[in-house]
């Protein structure tokens, strides 16, 4: 009888963990999609959260979009240098 009680508690905790993972995955997809389709959002991320934008650029480069960073920097008037164009990794 005690096993059933602990098993139910364990299952309830596992369900909440799975829900949290699905929500996190959905939020990550939403942000990636918004950055992928909205240049102004990328500019805002560049100003406020550059580390998040760096993850976007690296993911896009892995997906085959090699010049996303260069195109954005040229449109924004930022000089592309080795320190901010880290495509060599």
pTM of the complete model: 0.70
Tens digits of pLDDT across the chain (89 residues): 455 666 677 788 889 999 999 999 999 999 999 999 999 999 999 999 999 999 999 999 998 988 889 999 999 998 887 666 655 44
The DSSP secondary-structure symbol of 77 reads: T
Tokens 């299952």 belong to: 11
pLDDT at 79: 86
Tokens 């993972």 belong to: 21
Alpha-carbon span 42 to 85, nearest angstrom: 15
Residue 30 contacts by C-beta under 8 Å, 6 or more apart in sequence?
none
Identify the CA nearest to 42 among candidates 89, 79, 75: 75
């Amino acid at each position: 009888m005690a096993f059933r009680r602990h098993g139910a508690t364990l299952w309830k905790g596992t369900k909440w963990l799975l829900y949290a993972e699905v929500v996190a995955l959905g939020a990550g997809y939403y942000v990636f999609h918004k950055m992928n389709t909205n240049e102004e959002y990328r500019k805002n991320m560049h100003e406020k959260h550059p580390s998040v934008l760096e993850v976007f650029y690296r993911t896009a480069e892995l997906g085959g979009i090699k010049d996303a960073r260069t195109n954005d920097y040229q449109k924004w008037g930022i000089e592309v240098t080795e320190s901010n164009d880290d495509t060599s990794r």
